[in-house]
Amino acid sequence: MKQAVSFDRLARYEGNVPRYTSYPTAVQFSDTVTFEDYKQWLQVLPRGEPVSLYLHVPFCDELCNFCACNTQVVHKESLRASYGDILCQELKRLAFYLDSRRSVSFIHFGGGTPTTLPVQTMKKVMNTVREFFDVQSDADISIELDPRNVSKEYPPLLDELGFTRVSIGVQDLDPQVQRACGRIQSKELTAHCIALVRDQHIQSVNIDLIYGLPNQTKHTVRETIQSVIELQPDRLAVFGYAHVPWKFKRQTLLEGDILPDTVERFQQRQIIDELLRAAGYQVIGFDHYALPHDTMSKAAQQGLLHRNFQGYTVDDAPALLGVGASSISIVPQGIVQNHPSVAMYQKAMQQDGLPVVRGVKRNAEDLLRWTIIERLMCDLYIDLEKITAQYHQPLSLFMEALDKLKEFEKDDFVELSGYKVKVTETGRPFLRNIAVVFDTYYRAAPQRHAQAI
């Protein structure tokens, strides 16, 4: 049973911690990991296993003040089309270095706003994917949409190209919050966009929401959630606003009293959780929700949920291969990132190889710790004895972590039984804090991660 969380407990856990969409996390990336490392890792990927593709489009028609994504405003269609051509070049090179034609089970277009690519460019990119990879007949193919800037040609194009899922940015529907965020988007516009894509046989619609935004209150959050429930999205991703102005200068516009404090943020989160559960949504991990029929709900029930840089996912491919500026690739041996700057990405693509700028190698202990963190964040349960045996590692690696978890047990966030750890419903919002105890790289610092709560 979920218990109330006191203000003093909130204060103890309000620091900045990783989101754990990978391990090691991005702060461990360095330029000592290069394309040569990545090439070797690609060539030893098992040929019989599928891969996933992530394609990043770093363009928007307008920037939101709260955004912490790698994106920029580009209106010139020729520049957008040129970027699409480079995506196609990178896809061809990637297929070459894989050394055999690979099956693809998941494809995701993120950004930015992927639909800023001209229609013919998007066709060319998807045709290139299918030319050099075997896209499975039941592949999950998804894309992020901005309802404010979706041309009428795009919804039928998504059906034509085989897209199965869309993710729609909403964040908040209150006019005062929208003005502060620089994102004016009515409920009617959002509903119209959802209707258009559903008419084109899209199987699943996800809506992104954010709490902790400027001018948000418990009242406005409640009204936004009630309106969103009426739209009946299949999934929702509900993120706490990540205020990282040291990385994204545009967020300095949102500093000061207009940002809710930690207590207000947590209360907003509680309201969202209560309303969505009451509406029939199942909670997934700590920041996703899905209706019972959705594949994400089913995966969570079966213990098949995963995490990657898109958050919670049903993608179980052992390799996620990123394409485009700033995109991140994850394979068992390590993680690499392309040049974040579009200009540097384009320049790197004028050379041989792939445009890798940094990354991190993973050893056996890293993979073990990632399995522990991922299962903890997906299942809210781990059996350390069982997992360490699978990786042929000693339990002694985690004695210190178990000692630290006793503090969480005192707060009713976890239940400990020998080497088994179960996160309680009260502890669910603090999953990131709990996962930290298994992270040997973590160092508390004010400008390394986003706020935990």
Tokens describing residue 170: 């909403």
What average pLDDT is seen over the chain? 92
Mean pLDDT within 199-221: 94
Burial of residue 425 (number of CB atoms within 10 Å: 0-12, 13-18, 19+): middle
The tens digit of pLDDT for each residue in 309-351 reads 989 999 999 999 999 999 999 999 999 999 999 999 999 999 9
Give the sign of the dihedral formed by CA 290, CA 164, CA 70, CA 24: positive
Q: Which residues contact 369 (CB under 8 A, 6 or more apart)?
A: 23, 438, 439, 440
The domains of the chain are located at 1-24+363-453, 27-361
The tens digit of pLDDT for each residue in 355-365 reads 999 999 999 99
Give the residue with greater pLDDT, 378 vs 179.
378
Q: How confident is the model at residue 137 (pLDDT cuts 50, 70, 90)?
A: very high
∠ CA 238-226-286, nearest 5°, is: 20
Task: Tally Cβ neighbours within 10 Å of residue 446.
Answer: 8
Q: How confident is the model at residue 4 (pLDDT cuts 50, 70, 90)?
A: low
Tokens describing residue 367: 């993979």
CA distances from 233 to 88, 224, 245, 289, 294 (A): 32, 14, 31, 10, 10
Query: Residue 66: its pLDDT value, please?
Result: 78
Q: How confident is the model at residue 450 (pLDDT cuts 50, 70, 90)?
A: low
Give the residue with greater pLDDT, 72 vs 271.
271
Task: Tally Cβ neighbours within 10 Å of residue 125.
Answer: 23
Residue 258 has pLDDT above 90, yes or no: no
The tens digit of pLDDT for each residue in 174-187 reads 999 999 888 999 99
> Of 10-19, 116-125, 127-136, 434-443, where does mean pLDDT reach its minimum?
10-19
Tokens describing residue 315: 């993608």
Mean pLDDT within 362-373: 98
- pTM for the whole thing? 0.93
Task: Tally Cβ neighbours within 10 Å of residue 406.
Answer: 10
**Three-state SS annotation for 140-190:** EEEEEECHHHCCCCHHHHHHHCCCCEEEEEEECCCHHHHHHHCCCCCHHHH
What's 246's DSSP letter? Answer: T
Residue 220 has pLDDT above 60, yes or no: yes
Mean pLDDT within 21-37: 96
Tell which CATH architecture fits domain 27-361: Alpha-Beta Barrel (3.20)
Contact between 294 and 386 under an 8 Å Cβ cutoff? The reply is: no
Residue 446 has pLDDT above 60, yes or no: no
Residue 284 has pLDDT above 80, yes or no: yes
Query: Residue 15: its pLDDT value, please?
Result: 75
Give the sign of the dihedral formed by CA 81, CA 63, CA 342, CA 57: negative
Give the residue with greater pLDDT, 132 vs 263.
132
Query: Quick one: which of 1, 7, 451 has its CA closest to 267?
Result: 7
The rounded percent of the chain whose pLDDT value lies above 90 is 82
Q: How confident is the model at residue 242 (pLDDT cuts 50, 70, 90)?
A: confident
> Of 15-24, 114-123, 237-246, 363-372, where does mean pLDDT reach its minimum?
237-246
Residues in the chain: 453
Query: Residue 75: its pLDDT value, please?
Result: 85
Nearest-angstrom CA–CA distance, 282 and 224 = 19
Strand runs labelled E in 19-158 = 51-57, 59-60, 72-73, 103-111, 134-145
Tokens describing residue 291: 């209706």
Q: How confident is the model at residue 92 (pLDDT cuts 50, 70, 90)?
A: very high
Strand order through the sheet with 381-383: 381-383, 420-423, 414-417
Residue 389 has pLDDT above 70, yes or no: yes
Query: Residue 228: its pLDDT value, please?
Result: 98
∠ CA 405-411-415, nearest 5°, is: 55
Contact between 71 and 63 under an 8 Å Cβ cutoff? The reply is: yes
CA distances from 69 to 34, 207, 272 (A): 23, 17, 24
CATH class of 1-24+363-453: mainly alpha
